[in-house]
Chain A
Amino acid sequence: MRGEGQVVVIEYGDYECPYCAQADLMVTGFGLKRVFRHFPVVSKHPRARVLAYAAEAAALQGAFWEMHDSLFGDQGHLDVPHLWERAERLGLDMDRFEADRRSDAVEQRVAADFRTGIRAGVATTPTLFVDGDRFGGIPGPELLERLQRDSAR
């Protein structure tokens, strides 16, 4: 969780999804308190799960949001060597990063996020819950207006 204020944004997405990056940038721009949950849909985005594991492996070294921003900030470089470069740039312990991103604990963490999304009726990425209200699919003016309104609260 990061950001400030009373309103919580819960964001379901995957790092290979361009509209997720767009929605993420909108949320970041307003500085709202927010949670990111992994919703990798592999048949659509083959790298999605691997990328989610990388973010969670970084989280184990206290660098979740840094990796998150790095992945959404450049979706053109998502292969394994690019993940190493990113992890090195963030100053992570590389042996630990490599072991963690393949670990059962990280896999289960991502699967648990996915299950909460299914339970909440998430059926497309990105899906955002702004103070409990759902905004699914391509981020549009309705979402923008809502974020604007809530960031002023």
Chain B
Amino acid sequence: MTEPGSVAPDFTLADQDGNQVTLSELRGNQVVLVFYPLDFSPVCNDQLSVYQEVLPEFEERGAKMFGISVDHAFAHKAFQEKLGLTFPLLADFEPKGAVAQAYDMYIDGRGHNHRGFVVIDPDGNVKHWHREKTPLDIPGANLIFDALDA
């Protein structure tokens, strides 16, 4: 279901401001879904902060970036403000982790996501799927650039 070329599982999730974001309505753009374990964990801070630094370069490529974790929109809002992030964070909160499970990014028994990302092409198909071996490892932004440019 996350093989390159397969249709990306559709979803509707609330962002940090409670806006509903539906994947299939984003067609026409490349979409980057960044799966990360939890708001406010030290390693997540680094990952999303570094992506924020190069966000203009993702946007130059016509890509829209979203972070996804099991945290609630209220937590996302505080986390986004703390880090000064300008891309949306989606709340995969209820049913918990359902979108992460559909993308094979959920760690059963741990209650949170793996660290990884999925690039979806403008037609809504999976272009690239990447998952780190442990939540302590961070996918470099270079991997996202390579996937967008492929």
Contact = CB atoms under 8 A, between A and B. Distances in A.
Contacts of A147: none
Interface SS of chain B: helix
Given A43-B83, A43-B84, A43-B85, A121 B142 contact: yes
Of listed A114, A118, A119, residue having the most chain B CB within 10 A: A118
Nearest to A124: B46
Interface in A4-49: 41-44
A118 B141 contact: yes
Contacts of B53: 41-43, 114
Contact of A122 (B83, B140, B145): B140
B78 to A, nearest CB: 14
A122 B141 CA distance: 8
A122 B137 CA distance: 11
Contacts of A119: 142
Contacts of B142: 118-121
Contacts of A124: 43, 46-47, 50, 138
A62 interface: no
Contacts of B145: 118
Interface residues of B, number: 20
A73 interface: no
B136 A43 contact: no
Nearest to A17: B46
A60 interface: no
Contact of A123 (B46, B83, B84): B46
Interface in A95-122: 114, 118-122
Contacts of A136: 138
Interface string B84-117: 1100000000000000000000000000000000
A121 B140 contact: yes
B60 to A, nearest CB: 14
B65 to A, nearest CB: 14
Interface in B111-150: 136, 138-143, 145
A137 B140 contact: no
A1 to B, nearest CB: 24
Interface string A117-143: 011111111000000000011000000
Interface string A44-57: 10000000000000
Contacts of B83: 43-44
Of listed B49, B52, B139, residue having the most chain A CB within 10 A: B49
Interface of B: 43, 45-47, 49-50, 52-54, 83-85, 136, 138-143, 145
Given A121-B140, A122-B50, A137-B43, 9 more contacts: A41-B49, A41-B53, A44-B45, A118-B141, A118-B145, A121-B142, A123-B50, A123-B139, A125-B46
